[in-house]
Homo-oligomer: A and B are copies of this chain.
Amino acid sequence: MAKRTEIGTLGEFGLIRHLTEKITLKNPGTLKGVGDDAAVLDYKEKQVLVTTDLLLEGIHFDLTYVPLKHLGYKSAVVNFSDIYAMNGYPKQITVSLGLSKRFSVEDLEELYSGLQLACEVYGVDLVGGDTSASLTGLTISITCLGEAGKGEIVYRSGAKETDLIYVSGDLGAAYMGLQLLEREKRLFNGESDFTPDFGGKEYLLERQLKPEARKDIIEMLAANHIKPTAMIDISDGLSSELLHISRESNVGCHVYEERIPIDFQTASMAEQFNMNLITTAMNGGEDYELLFTVPLTDHDKISALKGIKVIGHITKPELGNYLVGRDGGEVELKAQGWNSLASE
Chain B hits for A60, CB < 8 A: 132
- Asked if A101 meets B341 with Cβ closer than 8 Å, knowing A37-B86, A39-B51, A130-B52, the reply is yes
Which of B7, B45, B156 lies in contact with A341, CB distance below 8 A?
Answer: B7
Are B13 and A54 touching (Cβ within 8 A)? no
| CA of A130 to CA of B51, assembled, Å | 9
Which of B47, B54, B343 lies in contact with A42, CB distance below 8 A?
Answer: B47
Interface centre among A37, A85, A96, A232, by most chain B C-beta atoms within 10 angstroms, is A37
Are A135 and B40 touching (Cβ within 8 A)? no
- Asked if A41 meets B48 with Cβ closer than 8 Å, knowing A11-B342, A12-B337, the reply is yes
Chain B hits for A85, CB < 8 A: 37-38
| CA of A40 to CA of B147, assembled, Å | 9
Chain B hits for A51, CB < 8 A: 37-39, 94, 128
* Interface residue? A64 (CB, 8 A): no
* Interface residue? A295 (CB, 8 A): no
Binding-face segment, A138-146, A180-188, A251-259, A305-313: A138-146
Chain B hits for A340, CB < 8 A: 132-133
* Interface residue? A163 (CB, 8 A): no
* Interface residue? A321 (CB, 8 A): no
Which of B47, B132, B338, B341 lies in contact with A54, CB distance below 8 A?
Answer: B132
Within 28-60 of A, Cβ neighbours of B (below 8 Å) are at 31-32, 35-45, 47-60
Which of B37, B86, B92, B150 lies in contact with A156, CB distance below 8 A?
Answer: B37
Are A132 and B47 touching (Cβ within 8 A)? no
Are A43 and B48 touching (Cβ within 8 A)? yes
- Asked if A52 meets B128 with Cβ closer than 8 Å, knowing A86-B40, A232-B37, the reply is yes
* Interface residue? A237 (CB, 8 A): no
| CA of A101 to CA of B342, assembled, Å | 9
Are A137 and B135 touching (Cβ within 8 A)? yes
* Interface residue? A212 (CB, 8 A): no
* Interface residue? A242 (CB, 8 A): no
Chain B hits for A98, CB < 8 A: 54, 56, 59, 139
* Interface residue? A97 (CB, 8 A): yes
Chain B hits for A101, CB < 8 A: 341, 343
Are A337 and B11 touching (Cβ within 8 A)? yes
Within 190-237 of A, Cβ neighbours of B (below 8 Å) are at 231-233
Question: What are 14 inter-chain pairs, A to B, with CB distance below 8 A?
Answer: A8-B343, A15-B341, A37-B85, A38-B85, A44-B45, A50-B127, A50-B128, A51-B128, A56-B134, A56-B135, A59-B132, A59-B134, A96-B141, A141-B141
By Cβ-Cβ distance, the 10 closest A-B pairs, closest first, are: A133-B340, A141-B141, A8-B342, A54-B96, A38-B51, A37-B85, A136-B136, A143-B143, A12-B338, A38-B49
